[in-house]
Structure 1
Amino acid sequence: MKRRMICLSILLIAATAGSALAQNAGVSSGYPTPKNGFSPAEQRGHGLYLRYCVLCHGVFGDGNGDNAPFLDPRPRDFTAATFKCRSTPTGTLPLDSDLIGTLVRGVQATNMPSWRPLTDENRQDLVAYIKTFSERWKTEKPGDAIKIPPETPVSIESIRRGHELFQKMECWKCHGQQGRGDGPSASTLTDSKDQPIRPYNFAMARNDSRFKCGSENQDLYRIFMTGVDGTPMPSFADVMQPNDAWDLVHYLRTLQTERRSKENEVLKAAGGAATLKSSENKSENNSAADSNGKTHSGGH
Structure 2
Amino acid sequence: MSNPPVNFFLSEKYFPPILVLVLLLLPQISQAIESRKIEKLIEDAQSPIEKQTRVKEKQLVLKQGKENYLKYCIHCHGKEGKGDGRASKYINPQPRELSQGIYKFHSTKTNSLPLDEDIVRIIKGGVPGTAMPAWGEILSNEVVNSLVIYIKTFAERFGMELPKQKISIGMEPPFDDFSIAHGKKKYDELRCGRCHGENGEKEGELSKILKSFKGTNWFIYDLSRKDFYKGGSSGVDIYRTLTAGLDGSPMNSYDYISDIERWNIVHFLQSLHSVKKNKKLSTVQKIT
Question: TM-score normalised to the size of structure 1?
Answer: 0.73
* 3-state SS, counterpart of residue 213 of structure 2: coil
- Give the Å deviation of 1:278: 7.6
C-alpha contact 1:105 1:214 (8 A) present in aligned 2: no
1:126 corresponds to: 147
Q: 1:182, 1:235 → 2: CA distance? A: 21
The answer to whether 1:140 aligns with 2:148 is no
Report the CA distance shift for 1:79/1:37 in structure 2 as closer, same or farther (over 3 A): farther
1:95-244 paired onto structure 2 within 5 Å: 95-116=115-136, 117-205=138-226, 208=227, 211-238=229-256, 240-244=257-261
The alignment covers a number of residue pairs equal to: 232
* 3-state SS, counterpart of residue 231 of structure 1: coil
1:246 corresponds to: 263
C-alpha contact 1:190 1:232 (8 A) present in aligned 2: yes
- Give the Å deviation of 1:65: 0.5
Q: Could you report, residue by residue, the CA deviation over 1:148-193 in whole angstroms, capped at 9, with x for unpaired residues? A: 0221111101000000011111101100123122211101100000
1:27 corresponds to: none
* 3-state SS, counterpart of residue 187 of structure 1: coil
Q: 1:121, 1:203 → 2: CA distance? A: 36
C-alpha contact 2:243 2:255 (8 A) present in aligned 1: yes
For 1:220, give the aligned amino acid. Answer: I
- Give the Å deviation of 1:277: 5.5
C-alpha contact 2:177 2:284 (8 A) present in aligned 1: no
- Give the Å deviation of 1:137: 0.8
Q: 1:214, 1:198 → 2: CA distance? A: 16
Q: 2:139, 2:180 → 1: CA distance? A: 39
For 1:204, give the aligned amino acid. Answer: R
Question: TM-score normalised to the size of structure 2?
Answer: 0.76
1:83 to 89, 103, 111: 103
- Give the Å deviation of 1:249: 0.2
Structure 1, unmatched stretches of 5+, are 1-35, 283-300
Larger radius of gyration: 2
- Give the Å deviation of 1:215: 3.3
Question: Which contiguous aligned blocks of 4+ residues in structure 1 show a shift greater than 3 angstroms?
Answer: 275-279
* 3-state SS, counterpart of residue 264 of structure 2: helix
Q: Could you report, residue by residue, the CA deviation over 1:126-155 in whole angstroms, capped at 9, with x for unpaired residues? A: 000000101111111112211002211111
Identity, % of aligned pairs? 34
RMSD: 2.0
Q: 1:178, 1:215 → 2: CA distance? A: 16
* 3-state SS, counterpart of residue 221 of structure 1: helix
Q: 1:99, 1:151 → 2: CA distance? A: 26
